[in-house]
Amino acid sequence: MKRNLKFWTRYTWESAGVVLAAAAVLAVISLFSAEGLDFATFAAVMPYYLCIAAIFVMMMINSGSQTLYVPLLLSMGETRRNVLLGFHYYRLLIIAATLALCSAVWLLMPGEVSSVGLRSIPTLLCVLLIASALGSIMGTIFVKWKWAGTVLIILLCGVAGGTVGFAGAASDKFLDMARMARVLSHFETLPWWLIAAVPVFLALDIAFQWLLLRRQEVKL
Amino acid sequence: MSLHCENIVKTYGGKDVLYDVTLDLKPGKIYGLIGRNGAGKTTLLSILSAQNPATKGTVTLDGEPVWEHRKSLAKICFSRELNANAESGIAAMKAKEYLRIASTYYEDWDKDLEGRLVKIFDLNLKKKFGKMNKGMLSMITIIVALCSKAPYTFLDEPVAGLDVVAREQFYKLLLEEYSSSGRTFVVSTHIIEEAADVLEKVIILHEGKILIEADTQTFVDSAVHVSGKIEEVDAAVAGLEVHHTETVGRSKGVTVFLKPGQKVDEGRDVSVQPVSLQRAFVALCGEEEAK
């Protein structure tokens, strides 16, 4: 298990770099679209970009991990159970690191948007967990039925493109403290259905993945 | 200590790829696993190392199951043939990263040996697998197999794509490692003649079944090639296990497998010659084509 943790921790570290890079891209796009720069608002909004980037990276990397790293680790003598546990550990670590960074930014940049952000953490946690489970289910589909996985990835890319566009447009219109706080305040309330969806998606993901993994054949 | 598999059956789409395979791999031996394309060699090695599940049957190491058993799996290394064109995306991986992951997972990984082998093979570890040729990919699988220090190490076509010098280096390194560590190696190969001197035991797999599991020398010694006039050859080998008959005009040549105590009738006007491992294998597994 120690070796497994070592591998997935390092892998998380590498993925974190991609998350930061993706968040930076979103931030740069929104900066270019903004008419006037309000640094405090921009910094307080950055964590949301970080969450969006984490969602996309988890979804995209999940597919890649399941296609390459899962068989690779099995070929190196790891048990299927440990591979499954390691994979979930990696996803939880990404979510924990993302939320920790978000919290740190909001604590360092006090203001209305930051306060809203800190109160939104439970909602963001649920959203990240669901997105991560969805990404993993998508990865499993990609391994088993390549064509269906490819369609899902194309759809995801479409959503990603749309989000980038929205980030640009939104920054143009909303990059003032009051409007931004109003829009983001929707995240403060944590609806019951979102809480209920988390265990459902996680259970679906684990069941789906285990069904594939327990009989998976190694191909490199 | 031994790696044992019992009544292994592997079925793909209703077709048996391995059928009722029972095998016992003893410690401290070099086994040659030979068979034609599609005989089931890679599938068998994958099942022995729990990389693929068997449809039926069990694999145990020292009485413990290998499947989902980390302690047993830690003693087995199956260094798979790498395919840079595979859909797994391994082509984008650098050799350095692959070896780093291997060194993380194999607890007795020999870092010094890794450095030495990289030097011997003159490999650039910064290269991605997609940019490497077949020979270089084989070298990587050889490095993983030898450096893993796993008591049971399987190599699937380790010399594929290697030039003759690199192949010689591989056999030398294999023997060196074998004599210093006493590990068990199972080498699956099509280049039988070159490997024959290295293989202590031979396992011949044909159409998913084990045809032969024997000491290489005993197996080779049991086979002879008998040639001469058709009637003389027929009389000389009457009652013996005859394979691979070749007839040219009035002459005939056959490969005969002798059981203990059997011999070719020396009173006949025939030539009796020893055969190589490769010829013995062709006689056993290429029989239908020869006819």
Nearest to A77 among B52, B77, B90 (CB): B77
User: CA A213: distance to chain centroid?
Assistant: 23
**Contact indicator for A148, A163 with CB cutoff of 8 Å:** no
> Does B289 score more than 60 pLDDT?
no
pLDDT-based confidence at residue B145 (cuts at 50, 70, 90):
very high
Instruction: Return the pLDDT at A169.
Output: 64
**Contact indicator for A121, A188 with CB cutoff of 8 Å:** no
Mean pLDDT of B125-136: 93
Say if A163 is an interface residue toward chain B (CB within 8 Å).
no
Do residue B87 and residue A78 have CB atoms under 8 angstroms apart?
A: no
Percent pLDDT > 70 in chain B is 97
Regions in chain A scoring below 50 on pLDDT: none
Residue B2: C-alpha distances to residues A206, B8, B63 (Å)? 35, 16, 8
Instruction: Return the pLDDT at A171.
Output: 58
Instruction: Return the pLDDT at A49.
Output: 86
Pick the residue of B88, B90, B143, B153 with the most A CBs within 10 A to test the interface with A by mutation: B88
Nearest chain B Cα to A8, which residue?
A: B101
pLDDT-based confidence at residue B291 (cuts at 50, 70, 90):
very low
Instruction: Return the pLDDT at B246.
Output: 86
> Does B269 score more than 50 pLDDT?
yes
Residue with tokens 């079925």: B11
pLDDT in tens, B194-204: 888 899 999 99
Query: Rounded to 5 degrees, what are φ and ψ at B192?
Result: -70, -45
The three-class DSSP label of residue A79 is coil
As a three-state string, the secondary structure of chain B is CCEEEEEEEEEECCEEEEEEEEEEECCCCEEEEEECCCCCHHHHHHHHCCCCCCCEEEEEECCEECCCCHHHHCCEEEECCCCCCCCCCHHHCEHHHHHHHHHHHCCCCCHHHHHHHHHHHCCCCCCEHHHCCHHHHHHHHHHHHHHHCCCEEEEECCCCCCCHHHHHHHHHHHHHHHHHHCCEEEEECCCHHHHCCCCCEEEEEECCEEEEEEEHHHHHHCEEEEEEEHHHHHHHCCCCEEEEEEEECCEEEEEEECCCCCCCCCCCCEEEEECCHHHHHHHHHCHHHHC
Do residue A77 and residue B46 have CB atoms under 8 angstroms apart?
A: no
How far is the C-alpha of B158 from the C-alpha of B246, rounded, in Å? 33
How many contiguous H segments (helices) and E segments (strands) does chain A have? 9, 0
State the distance between the two ends of chain A, measured CA to CA, in whole angstroms.
23
Do residue A81 and residue B68 have CB atoms under 8 angstroms apart?
A: yes
Pick the residue of B55, B68, B72, B104 with the most A CBs within 10 A to test the interface with A by mutation: B104
Tokens found for residue A35: 């008419």
Instruction: Return the pLDDT at B290.
Output: 44
Do residue B107 and residue A3 have CB atoms under 8 angstroms apart?
A: yes
- Least Cα separation, residue B136 to chain A (angstroms): 16
Mean pLDDT of B232-252: 88
**Contact indicator for B43, B52 with CB cutoff of 8 Å:** yes
Neighbour count for residue B7 (Cβ, 10 Å): 12
Nearest to B104 among A7, A64, A68 (CB): A7
Q: Which residue has the higher pLDDT, A185 or B58?
A: B58
Query: Among 3.40.50.300, 3.10.105.10, 3.30.1490.20, 3.30.70.100, what is the CATH number of B3-216?
Result: 3.40.50.300
Do residue B51 and residue A75 have CB atoms under 8 angstroms apart?
A: yes
- Least Cα separation, residue B208 to chain A (angstroms): 18
> Does B275 score more than 70 pLDDT?
yes
**Contact indicator for A170, A29 with CB cutoff of 8 Å:** no
| Predicted structure pTM score | 0.87
Nearest chain A Cα to B82, which residue?
A: A220
Tokens found for residue B86: 């595979």
Instruction: Return the pLDDT at B170.
Output: 94
Instruction: Return the pLDDT at B199.
Output: 93
Mean pLDDT of B28-33: 95
Tokens found for residue B64: 């413990």
**Contact indicator for B132, B155 with CB cutoff of 8 Å:** no
Do residue A77 and residue B86 have CB atoms under 8 angstroms apart?
A: no
Instruction: Return the pLDDT at A174.
Output: 52
How far is the C-alpha of A209 from the C-alpha of A187, rounded, in Å? 30
Residue A22: C-alpha distances to residues A13, A18, A200 (Å)? 15, 6, 28
**Contact indicator for B98, B129 with CB cutoff of 8 Å:** yes
DSSP A187: G
**Contact indicator for B206, B285 with CB cutoff of 8 Å:** yes
Nearest to B101 among A72, A214, A215 (CB): A72
Measured between beta carbons, which residues in chain B are less than 8 angstroms from residue A74? 51
Task: Locate the domains of chain A by residue range.
Answer: 2-213
Nearest chain B Cα to A79, which residue?
A: B68
Across chain B, what does the average pLDDT equal?
A: 91
DSSP A217: P
How far is the C-alpha of A176 from the C-alpha of A113, rounded, in Å? 10
Residue with tokens 């011949």: B204
> Does B184 score more than 80 pLDDT?
yes
Mean pLDDT of B261-287: 87
**Interfacial residues of B (vs A; Cβ cutoff 8 Å):** 46, 49-53, 68-70, 73-74, 76-78, 80, 82-83, 86-90, 93, 98, 101-102, 104-107, 150
How far is the C-alpha of B52 from the C-alpha of B43, rounded, in Å? 7
Instruction: Return the pLDDT at B287.
Output: 58
How far is the C-alpha of A72 from the C-alpha of B105, rounded, in Å? 11
Say if A144 is an interface residue toward chain B (CB within 8 Å).
no
Nearest to A76 among B46, B89, B105 (CB): B105
Do residue A217 and residue B52 have CB atoms under 8 angstroms apart?
A: yes
How far is the C-alpha of B16 from the C-alpha of A180, rounded, in Å? 64
How far is the C-alpha of B73 from the C-alpha of B49, rounded, in Å? 7
Q: Partners of B248 in the beta sheet?
A: B251
